[in-house]
Amino acid sequence: MKPPAAANCNMPPQTLPDWLAYLERLHPKTIQLGLERVCQVRTRMLLQPRFPIITVGGTNGKGSTCAILERILSVAGYRVGCYTSPHLLRYNERVRVQCREAEDEALCQAFAAVESVRGETPLTYFEFGTLAALRHFVDIGVEVAVLEVGLGGRLDAVNAFEPDCAVITSIDLDHQDYLGDSRESIGFEKAGIYRQGRPAICGDLHPPSTVPERARAIGADYRQIGRDFGFVAHDGGWDFWSGRQRYLHLPLPPLSGSFQLGNAACALEALTALQARLPVSESRLRESLAQVELAGRFQVLPGRPAWVLDVAHNPHAAHGLAENLRQTRGSGRTLAVFAMLADKDVRGVVQAVAEEIDAWFVAGIDQPRGATAEQMAQMVRSQLPTASVAVYRSVPEALGHACRSAEENDRIVVFGSFYTVAYAMRAHPTLGNSKHGG
């Protein structure tokens, strides 16, 4: 049998799966923060984007804010590149132009461009992918790029590129092994995406002091939700206010949860700050808000029982999930298919949603960082000694048992990780072979 191209040291990978397998083997660590390596390769690539860049960081809400910015700017007529992570079903989801996923061939060409100058510099999977995404955006001629920070901010690969505006959506405990064990330390890392003289948006109502302090220290144009801009929700719509702009009776974006209006307000404040360079008419703004789509964020799938998919993987996000479950509870039960990564705060997530769950179907995740089914069961039972907890080796097995246990008016909420939601999406007949975007 002929070995795959990626295994041959004299031949570069030829297909996207080969490239992704190669990237996974390239660096001994999945995560290694620091900008030195990625900046070295960026310089060799002569990769200096001329288009405006909006960088979006934060603990939760990054994906929603990116999706809102991407849709508004696309509807306004700009050629928009959007880079997000992680993906659910296909790597292509991470790199989009005009809300459409990049084709395999374009991604392979971008990966090859990185590899051709990388030399002996080791890059992580995310670092390699970030450079390739920006290479693709430059080559295809985007007019603006929206970049989601992968982890933290200050030392994240996305921060190797200079933003014209930087947004921090929320700040809470997550990735403590890398970012520190307090909101102050995490805020300091996230505020590292702010730049001198550039708009620095903060969507956390009560940010740790390190965020505004960092903005002041570097002379950023700091704008705080609730103080410099904000929103007012009302029946059937919402208003956005800023010192520079007012929009009344805006349509609600089709993203569940009142917290999504905070994300939308951050997006609108970023566009207000960049209005001179990226003007957007009010009519286009209104049109685009109703078109926003984002898979895996309280995504309700058709059928009876209904499936609810949510990538919530930390306590802050789980509280948002609990709010959505509470507001949409019907006459039936809520069954949880639950699996998480071992380095996450499983107990905190369980506590956040406990009152909204009637039965637990816990599973393991077959990934290096995945918690086993036994670990998950132990942590759920330690928080909820009297809860109904069934244990299964895998998410598909847990999902199958939940479906057989559910009655017509029940709902099955699948949550805890992007991996968990991805397993469910592959299993659902309406999503397994579909493409997101466009």
Residue where a domain terminates, one of 235, 258, 289: 289
* Claim to verify: residue 275 and residue 167 sit in the same structural domain: yes
What does pTM read for this prediction? 0.89
- Look at the chain and report how many structural domains it folds into: 2
Whether 339 contacts 420, CB under 8 Å: yes
Give the model confidence (pLDDT) of 259-308 as tens digits: 789 999 999 999 999 999 999 999 999 999 999 988 899 999 888 899 99
236 and 372 share one domain: no
Residues 278 and 303 in one domain: no
Same domain, yes or no: 183 and 114:
yes
Single residue among 270, 289, 308 that ends a domain in this structure = 289
Residues 284 and 303 in one domain: no
Domain assignment present for 108? yes
- Answer for the pair 423, 415: CB distance below 8 angstroms, yes or no: no
Does residue 5 lie in a domain region? no
Do 151 and 250 have their domain in common?
Answer: yes
Predicted local distance difference test score (pLDDT) of residue 179: 59
Alpha carbon 66 to its chain's center: 8
One domain, residues 348 and 284 = no
pLDDT higher than 60, residue 207: yes
Whole-angstrom distance, CA of residue 284 vs CA of residue 280? 7
Say yes or no: 348 and 280 in one domain.
no
Flag whether 250 is in a domain. Answer: yes
Domain CATH code at residue 223? 3.40.1190.10
1 occurs within a structural domain: no
Q: Tell me, yes or no, whether 336 and 265 share the same domain.
A: no
Task: Looking at the structure, tell me whether residues 175 and 40 fall in a common domain.
Answer: yes
**Closest residue by Cα to residue 45 from 134, 123, 157:** 134
How confident is the model over 402-415, as pLDDT tens digits? 999 999 999 999 99
Burial label for 426, CB within 10 Å (0-12, 13-18, 19+), is: middle
pLDDT of 436 strictly over 60: no
Domain stop point among 269, 289, 309:
289
Find the domain containing 364 and state its range.
Answer: 299-427
Clarify whether residues 276 and 334 are in a common domain: no
Closest by alpha carbon to 186, among 169, 198, 199, 201? 169
CB-CB neighbours of 290 under 10 Å: 13
Q: Can you give the CATH number for the domain in which 358 is found?
A: 3.90.190.20
pLDDT higher than 70, residue 4? no
Q: What is the mean pLDDT of residues 168-175?
A: 80
In terms of domains, do 88 and 131 share one? Answer: yes
Instruction: Extract the tokens encoding 132.
Output: 């390739």
For residue 194, CA distances in Å to 153, 155, 179, 213 come to 9, 12, 17, 11
Bridge partners of 223?
Answer: 201
Mean pLDDT of 330-356: 94
